Amino acid sequence: MAPKYAPSLRSRLAPLLLCLQTGFILLAAFYFEIKETVDRDAFINLYSEYQNVNVMIILGFGFLSTFLVRYGFSGSGFSLLVAIISTQWAIILNGIEFWYYRGKIQVDLKSVLVAELYAASALISIGAVLGKTNPVHLTLIALLEVSGFALNEWLLRTLLNVRPLNGIMLLHVFGALFGLMLTAILNRANSKQGFEKEKFDRKSGLFSMLGTLFLWMFWPSFNAVLVDDRTPWRKLEAEGSTYLALAVSAVTAAAVSVLCNPKGKLNLVQLQSCILAGGVAVGVSISAIHQPWEAMTIGFTAAIISTIGFKYLKTHMLLAFDCHDTCAILSTHGLPGLLGWLAQLVLQIKDCDDHTVAIRFAVFHISALLITVTISLIMGILTGFLLKWNFWRPPQNKKCFDDQAFWEFPHLAERK
Amino acid sequence: MAPKYAPSLRSRLAPLLLCLQTGFILLAAFYFEIKETVDRDAFINLYSEYQNVNVMIILGFGFLSTFLVRYGFSGSGFSLLVAIISTQWAIILNGIEFWYYRGKIQVDLKSVLVAELYAASALISIGAVLGKTNPVHLTLIALLEVSGFALNEWLLRTLLNVRPLNGIMLLHVFGALFGLMLTAILNRANSKQGFEKEKFDRKSGLFSMLGTLFLWMFWPSFNAVLVDDRTPWRKLEAEGSTYLALAVSAVTAAAVSVLCNPKGKLNLVQLQSCILAGGVAVGVSISAIHQPWEAMTIGFTAAIISTIGFKYLKTHMLLAFDCHDTCAILSTHGLPGLLGWLAQLVLQIKDCDDHTVAIRFAVFHISALLITVTISLIMGILTGFLLKWNFWRPPQNKKCFDDQAFWEFPHLAERK
Amino acid sequence: MAPKYAPSLRSRLAPLLLCLQTGFILLAAFYFEIKETVDRDAFINLYSEYQNVNVMIILGFGFLSTFLVRYGFSGSGFSLLVAIISTQWAIILNGIEFWYYRGKIQVDLKSVLVAELYAASALISIGAVLGKTNPVHLTLIALLEVSGFALNEWLLRTLLNVRPLNGIMLLHVFGALFGLMLTAILNRANSKQGFEKEKFDRKSGLFSMLGTLFLWMFWPSFNAVLVDDRTPWRKLEAEGSTYLALAVSAVTAAAVSVLCNPKGKLNLVQLQSCILAGGVAVGVSISAIHQPWEAMTIGFTAAIISTIGFKYLKTHMLLAFDCHDTCAILSTHGLPGLLGWLAQLVLQIKDCDDHTVAIRFAVFHISALLITVTISLIMGILTGFLLKWNFWRPPQNKKCFDDQAFWEFPHLAERK
């Protein structure tokens, strides 16, 4: 007979987190130095950019994953944990190159900001396994995903000379594929029958609506963050384009949802995923978008692909590939990310007058995707096999999607 | 016998939204051009102004309308739909004049920002009919309300030479009167007996508290947005004045609420409406306020009028005029808006040394109000009659204030 | 037999609030004048700083206190009331000195911003008595706590020449001690048995998570607000340090929580308090922190102290000193505040080359703490005795932690 209670994480989670955190502090003590900046305008701008992205990472992703009716505490709490561990780890990984040459890692608010983009890719990945893992798993995923993404970014930059703006924005594709591999390998026997507690209700739906709206509202900042500070009009253009794409994709997602449903009803969780598709697709192709209609068309197409993907592909992936995708990251981030990649290719080639340059660009662009796909799949598989080890004490099937495995409910007995 | 299920919107909503959105994209492709700006400071400022107003429109209004216990998904979801459709439509309408002379519509983040103010007036209007309409109705209201408001603004500007700061801020009066006409014409036979599902509970009250607080916190930006960028101290003054008015109106609303209630208790929904009254009134009169005490006195009076209006006028309007006002827009936006208009008149005349100028100002000011009232009433009546058409498949009385008419609840059967 | 209904506040709350608010308006009319500023950059910066702190005060503290399952309306509503009354009162108190010399109180958005820091100390204090008091009590606490804190700040500034940055940041220590004295004196006979309604559930926990996350995200602004505007890099440093301290304290708090619990589970309310500890401690010592690792170490220590304090000290305080501390302000603000004070002392002395200067600094620093502790304890005791007076109609024990004592639930009968 299976044990009644979820296995205790006391001897796993506490030492892991304490070691990690002490390690980070020691690294900071010996190798961090503060980067001095002087431009006054840059300060004002930097802090508000950081703040906007921070709100998305902490609040947006945190509350997006509260839609599961019995998993709200875990959804928001563990997302916070993953976000801050990956951010700290990404600050260190990003500084290694500089450390190699100068012996120090330079840190300022800009490093935190860039590190939070890495954290976003980890948060996307955990969306696929949310509810079926414990915080020890999630901490390990955070570390390995960010390492893989940093490796990928370094390869793209050094091998193909891809600019950070284009390289880092592939985070949607990387995070989605990594997460899908992970969930395929961690597949549980009963996932095809569905999990009893995997559902939402009137209130938990509103909590995740809140997270979605924060992502939706601040997405323009997210896409503009890596645009060069010396061209503020490009930043403003990126923000405007993202707004338009998001607006179009919200309207389109509503229309297509209604069209796909035999009774003409909307589905809240589906809508929440799909109204963000425009932001993802425009983010990946932001460096090539120069006209409002281009952003709007990308938003339109992304919403259609994402809505249809959510409706049909999610079930298909589960039945055909044993791939249970809790937050539908394939249709929210994966497909729109690929669409954005394609849009960038098309727009860049369209703007090229010279055939040779166009072909050269296409080859580089395709290679960048291939590298990203390969590394995300390999890292996802490796991480998956590491997490399969029972040493990490995974929750039993009955305790999946249930806060009671990890959280105290002191007054529950009284209330019942 | 009435059908058990709400009528399907599949054949109405989907084509309407897809046509609209395709139309907007085509317009953008042929007629939009990006407006170039060069001033660096303007960029930083513009984006944060846009962001603040955007938070109010999307999150503030969206969550303000989640107080109905069984209508939270619709409240937040349909508000988002109305907000983005009206914003896109307002960008186009605002560009028509420029298009007439130059053949193009100039777009930048400032156009989106101004368009969101138009969207605010549409969101105020739908407050009166929330719960008794379907998303097709709301989309049509968004289009017609914004058209009416744009017409009104154009008339005020060309006929009376009213500055946008004063013209657009009449949005509260316009939105409220438009909404009241609409709800009077769409009146349902049983509205006097009350709707069974029109109520709030402990949690839905907190969700709408969240929306209210976001409106409350960011209202200073809303009122300062149209103040000339070249006088930043006036912007700061406007923000400070709005803060003081909001603070005073929150304290006063609490006091008057307690005073009006025989048991000395507060009513959450009433309080949420009335603490915003100061922001509305100061917004309408912002160009004439130069002293903190003026803003505070306006906030004080607005809260008293609004609280008493909510308490007595709401029922009276329903019984005497068949006017069922879900979100009490008359006392939240209508009356404080009129008070603000009056305050501006008084303050302007007080500051005038010359009698002729004062009389001239009064005549113009009164004409501006009369035009606004006339156009809002006429447009409200026209829209009302259009929506009465059964072709749009209105929800049955039993399905009013119920998410199940429009949203899937896949796990509800299991949970019950 | 005790009366069935909570005593009506109609004859207490309404006159108190109306008199206060009318008094504030009259003071504004006669003594406020607007402070003119000219620097353009300052405007942009000032408003966004104000906005960030405002979000923390209104939304952060407001929703932090919604964790009580039947006290959400009061938690958020009364926090708003306390916040705006203390802010207005602090603006006046802060202006007295200037008024004494010039006959006017100068007001701009900066005064509101500083006044909101005073309001934060009042909000911390009411955390200790939340649920056991009525809004009349809370209004009086707001007035007296802010008066005490303003007196303290004035003494520190004039007697010891403490800079506002260091003096005002002691608000955590002042607020916590004031609140503890208050709750010890207002102790109820049955508080040791526990209050029947003092508990949280799945949804109310998420609402307070929302407030916590807003505090967590915007805390960097809070700590940087008083850093001199002419050294923007110091501001950025302060923001970065606070972020790192918060990140470290969130990870550490999770680890220590799991370690302290025999079943290895997390406690949501405990975690919410303790992830903020790093922000408090770094805030108090912000002027002495110049290296990332210093901030991280302080965050690490603060989280350990705070988590252990929450776990063991809270119960101990109740049993040994009759001190029932609803929001655990001792371990959230008190202990981390004292740690921050100690850290500042150590860091300053470490950086001193000259023994005399170091000793001189230590004497001043210790005196500053002693003055703060003395004044907060005395003011807390005085306020406590004033509030014990039955004239203010305290809620009965049975109505503690219950919204129904103060709020109408019009549809509750129907719903039951």
Least confident piece of the model among A146-155, B184-193, C170-179: B184-193
Percent of chain C with pLDDT over 90: 65
- In this complex, the residue of A32, A48, A76 whose CB is nearest that of residue C48 is A48
Number of domains in chain A: 1
C1 has a pLDDT exceeding 70 = no
Distance from CA of C224 to the nearest CA of A (A): 11
Q: Give the chain B residue nearest A40 (alpha carbons).
A: B41
Structure tokens at A103: 């012996």
pLDDT score, position A38: 61
The reply to whether A413 touches chain C by the CB within 8 Å rule is no
Q: Give the chain A residue nearest B69 (alpha carbons).
A: A202
Residue-wise pLDDT tens digits, B347-389: 999 888 888 889 999 999 999 999 999 999 999 999 999 999 8
Q: Which CATH number characterizes residue C212's domain?
A: 1.10.3430.10
Nearest to B253 by CA among C123, C14, C91, C137: C14
If you average pLDDT over residues A214-233, what whole number do you get? 90
pLDDT score, position C231: 80
Nearest to A104 by CA among C291, B297, B191, B311: C291
**Is the entire prediction scored with pTM above 0.80?**
yes
Instruction: Give chain C positions within 8 Å (CB) of B291.
Output: 29, 32, 34
Nearest to B73 by CA among C410, A306, A254: A254
Cα torsion through A44, A48, A54, A56, rounded to 10: -160
Percent of chain C with pLDDT over 70: 96
Task: Name C356's Cβ contacts closer than 8 Å, sequence gap at least 6.
Answer: none
B94 has a pLDDT exceeding 70 = yes
What's the pLDDT band for B47 if we cut at 50, 70, 90? confident
The reply to whether A113 touches chain C by the CB within 8 Å rule is no
pLDDT score, position B13: 92
The reply to whether A232 touches chain B by the CB within 8 Å rule is yes
If you average pLDDT over residues B207-235, what whole number do you get? 91
DSSP string, B185-200: HT--GGGGG--TT---
C335 has a pLDDT exceeding 70 = yes
Least confident piece of the model among A252-256, A364-368, B318-322: B318-322
What's the pLDDT band for C389 if we cut at 50, 70, 90? confident
Q: Give the chain C residue nearest B199 (alpha carbons).
A: C411
The reply to whether A275 falls in a domain is yes
Chains that touch C (3 or more CB pairs under 8 A): A, B
B41 has a pLDDT exceeding 80 = no
If you average pLDDT over residues B256-263, what whole number do you get? 91
If you average pLDDT over residues A30-56, what whole number do you get? 82
Structure tokens at C355: 């023994």
The reply to whether A218 touches chain B by the CB within 8 Å rule is yes
Mean pLDDT taken over chain A: 90
A8 has a pLDDT exceeding 70 = yes
pLDDT score, position A389: 86
The reply to whether A78 touches chain C by the CB within 8 Å rule is no
What's the pLDDT band for B323 if we cut at 50, 70, 90? confident
What's the pLDDT band for C3 if we cut at 50, 70, 90? low
A54 has a pLDDT exceeding 70 = yes
Residue-wise pLDDT tens digits, B124-174: 999 999 999 999 999 999 999 999 999 999 999 999 989 888 889 999 999
Instruction: Give chain B positions within 8 Å (CB) of C210.
Output: 210
The reply to whether A205 touches chain B by the CB within 8 Å rule is yes
Cβ count near C27 (within 10 Å): 19
Least confident piece of the model among A41-50, A292-301, B86-95: A41-50
Host domain of residue B177: 22-223+237-406
Residue-wise pLDDT tens digits, C109-140: 889 999 999 999 999 999 999 999 999 999 99
Residue-wise pLDDT tens digits, A98-113: 889 988 998 888 899 9
DSSP 8-state code for residue A395: P
pLDDT score, position A232: 80
Residue-wise pLDDT tens digits, B325-336: 888 999 999 999
The reply to whether A116 falls in a domain is yes
DSSP 8-state code for residue A266: B
Structure tokens at B378: 């006429």
The reply to whether A410 touches chain B by the CB within 8 Å rule is no
Query: What crossing angle do the helices spanning B292-308 and B232-260 adopt, rounded to 10°?
Result: 40
ipTM over 0.90: yes
C221 has a pLDDT exceeding 60 = yes
Residue-wise pLDDT tens digits, C15-74: 999 999 999 999 999 998 888 766 666 666 788 889 999 999 999 999 999 999 999 999
The reply to whether A338 falls in a domain is yes
What's the pLDDT band for C4 if we cut at 50, 70, 90? low
Residue-wise pLDDT tens digits, C237-272: 899 999 999 999 999 999 999 999 888 899 999 999
pLDDT score, position B6: 75
Cβ–Cβ under 8 Å, residues C167 and C368: yes
Instruction: Give chain B positions within 8 Å (CB) of A261.
Output: 10, 408
Higher pLDDT, A416 or B231: B231
pLDDT score, position B38: 61
C266 and A10: CB-CB below 8 Å?
A: no
The reply to whether C48 touches chain A by the CB within 8 Å rule is yes
The reply to whether B164 falls in a domain is yes
Residue-wise pLDDT tens digits, A366-382: 999 999 999 999 999 99
What's the pLDDT band for C319 if we cut at 50, 70, 90? confident
B411 has a pLDDT exceeding 70 = no
The reply to whether B317 falls in a domain is yes
B51 and A201: CB-CB below 8 Å?
A: no
Mean pLDDT taken over chain B: 90
The reply to whether A13 falls in a domain is no
C415 has a pLDDT exceeding 60 = no
C173 has a pLDDT exceeding 60 = yes
Distance from CA of B263 to the nearest CA of C (A): 6
Best of C41, C203, C298, C315 to disrupt the A interface (most A CBs within 10 Å) is C203
pLDDT score, position A128: 93
Best of A30, A58, A63, A80 to disrupt the C interface (most C CBs within 10 Å) is A80
B217 and C58: CB-CB below 8 Å?
A: yes
Chains that touch B (3 or more CB pairs under 8 A): A, C
DSSP 8-state code for residue B396: P
Structure tokens at C143: 């007035």
pLDDT score, position A41: 65
Best of C57, C136, C200, C408 to disrupt the B interface (most B CBs within 10 Å) is C408
What's the pLDDT band for A413 if we cut at 50, 70, 90? very low
What's the pLDDT band for A411 if we cut at 50, 70, 90? low
pLDDT score, position C242: 95
B262 has a pLDDT exceeding 50 = yes
Distance from CA of C272 to the nearest CA of A (A): 9
The reply to whether C64 falls in a domain is yes
What's the pLDDT band for B300 if we cut at 50, 70, 90? very high
The pairing of beta strand B105-107 with beta strand C32-34: unpaired
B328 Cα distance to chain centroid: 12
B17 and A254: CB-CB below 8 Å?
A: yes
The reply to whether B304 falls in a domain is yes
The reply to whether B55 touches chain C by the CB within 8 Å rule is no
